[in-house]
Amino acid sequence: MPFSLPIHNVYQPVDPGQHFPPGFVWGVATSAYQIEGAAVADGKGESIWDRFCRQPGTIADGSNGDVACDHLHRLEEDLDLIAALEVDAYRFSVSWPRVQPLGQGAWNEAGLRCYQRLVDGLVARGVRPYLTLNHWDLPQALQDQDGWANRATVQHFVDYALGMHRHLGQRVAAITTHNEPWVIAKLGHEDGSFAPGLRSRAVAMQVAHHLLLSHGLAMQALRADGCTAPLGIVLNLSPVQPATDSTADAARARLEDGLLLRWYMDPLLRGAYPQDVLDHLGADAPQVQPGDMAAIATPMDFLGVNYYTRAVVSADAPFDVTRSGLPLTDMGWEVYPEGLTELLLRVHRDYPVPPIFVTENGGAFADSLAAGQVHDRDRTDYIASHIAAVGAALRQGVPMAGYMVWSLLDNFEWASGYAKRFGIVHVDYATQRRTAKDSAHWYRRFLQRQRSARGQQPAAAQGA
């Protein structure tokens, strides 16, 4: 039975206003490990997140993604849910070890069928599939050979990208190589708070280089293979602001901006790493081979930006967000929509950017489900104000192409486990029952208003 979204009187935030241009893509996003479950089913290989979650002390609530939202067993229901939201696009990721258990060599037909069903189900419902190849769950078998620190993983990733293209053909609307290489490198290999849990800055910077290189080489290989889908990468970016106007804080902010934003944007769009960051890294700078930088700078069709909050840095102590007076989400992140406009204007000013999608944006808030409703006014405000921030960037000339809410469903929020809820649809993990929150109702109505202002039908009604 198709999922339906009963209309009830939901909270109306300030309308984000202006009408976005025709063709602007509205979506919702998820990732494989956070929702799929079926962690050991049908020949799937182990991922670094399967392994990491089993190490004591890594995940706040001791949980893991073994079941998560049980999405793969509820695929039809979830597809109907996505269609009921009347979004244009659904951004999801493929679990590499589900389709290629060892990360090289043999393919797992049962795993491939999952994504064929997903993509076919989206297309049949008029929702465009936006596929991400790497949302962090590297096959453990590759990690056993040093994973992203090993240059051989670059070629394995290119082969995986080609294999997915050959299996899914031209049915996907866009392909993202990597989700948030900074997180993989920094949190996974320097801080050790995310899988694979390593702690070495030199390793982290080599990992970042191999991720960027594999992105460029995979795009080249996909295009040579006849792939016509737009290709790009997704970066987690924030404006980095100094806590005070001291020279020391300004210098620190410049360095953090270098490590977070320029380390990725400079090679992708200008073909070179930022010299000040290379100088700072010294012996921790990565080994780069001839031709690598040109490969990384292979032109992209789009850039994905994930935005949640700003970064405020100070030279001595970590910045205390509670002193800023801004509302905080359940992650302890400041709600700062102006930062999104500021960030988009800056990347447009400093780089020859392709069309930009906000590929993730959303807020974790403590929800309560009562009588089949979740009145998540804070999340609705968060989303509406950030959509308005995208509109402000558009009006000032930034080539914005789309916006996607993180997330479709409450899900496994990595090291925070299940306590942090980002979904516009509530998940009761005991029953796996899905309940659209007020934010989901609001988002659907907002999209309806956008379309009627443009005289358009939802994609599903057009049979697009």
To the nearest whole angstrom, how small is the minimum distance from the Cβ of residue 245 to ligand FCB?
30
Active site annotation includes 342: no
306 binds ligand FCB (CB under 6 A): yes
CA distance 170 to 176: 14
User: Per DSSP, what are the bridge partners of residue 403?
Assistant: 26, 358
Q: Where are the alpha helices (DSSP H) in 288-337?
A: 292-296
CA distance 101 to 111: 9
412 binds ligand FCB (CB under 6 A): no
To the nearest whole angstrom, how small is the minimum distance from the Cβ of residue 16 to ligand FCB?
21
93 binds ligand FCB (CB under 6 A): no
194 binds ligand FCB (CB under 6 A): no
Chain residues 420-459 in contact with ligand FCB, contact rule CB under 6 A? 422
Q: Is 428 helix (H, G, I), strand (E, B) or coil?
A: strand
To the nearest whole angstrom, how small is the minimum distance from the Cβ of residue 201 to ligand FCB?
20
CA distance 67 to 86: 27
Half-sphere exposure of 433 (CA within 13 A, CB side): 8
Region near ligand FCB per CB under 6 A, out of 65-73, 176-184, 277-285, 322-330: 176-184
Identified catalytic residue from 180, 190, 334, 413? 180
To the nearest whole angstrom, how small is the minimum distance from the Cβ of residue 364 to ligand FCB?
7
- From residue 352 to residue 371, what is the string marking binding to ligand FCB with x (rule CB under 6 A)? --------x-----------
Chain residues 46-75 in contact with ligand FCB, contact rule CB under 6 A? none
Place of tokens 């270098």: 258
Phi, psi of 334, deg, nearest 5: -65, 140
Identify which of residues 20 and 130 has a Cβ nearer to ligand FCB in the complex: 130
Identify which of residues 148 and 422 has a Cβ nearer to ligand FCB in the complex: 422
Consecutive H or E run containing 181: helix 181-182
Q: Is 328 helix (H, G, I), strand (E, B) or coil?
A: strand
179 binds ligand FCB (CB under 6 A): yes
Chain residues 8-37 in contact with ligand FCB, contact rule CB under 6 A? 31, 34
90 binds ligand FCB (CB under 6 A): no
For residue 46, give Cα distances in angstroms to 57, 99, 226, 302: 20, 11, 31, 31
Phi, psi of 25, deg, nearest 5: -100, 125
Identify which of residues 100 and 134 has a Cβ nearer to ligand FCB in the complex: 134
Q: Which of 58, 236, 241, 309 binds ligand FCB (CB under 6 A)?
A: 236
Tokens at residue 122, please?
Answer: 């989206």
Kindly state the number of chain residues that form the binding site for ligand FCB, as judged by CB under 6 A: 12
- End-to-end CA gap in the chain: 22
Place of tokens 């509406």: 384
Tokens at residue 110, please?
Answer: 């049962």
Q: Is 378 left (phi over 0), alpha (psi -120 to 50) or beta?
A: alpha
413 binds ligand FCB (CB under 6 A): yes
Region near ligand FCB per CB under 6 A, out of 54-62, 118-126, 175-183, 343-351: 175-183
| 8-state DSSP, 139 | B
Region near ligand FCB per CB under 6 A, out of 20-28, 117-125, 406-414, 449-457: 406-414
Active site annotation includes 334: no
State the catalytic residues. 180, 360
Please report, as ranges, the residues that interact with ligand FCB according to CB under 6 A.
31, 34, 179-180, 183, 236, 306, 360, 406, 413-414, 422
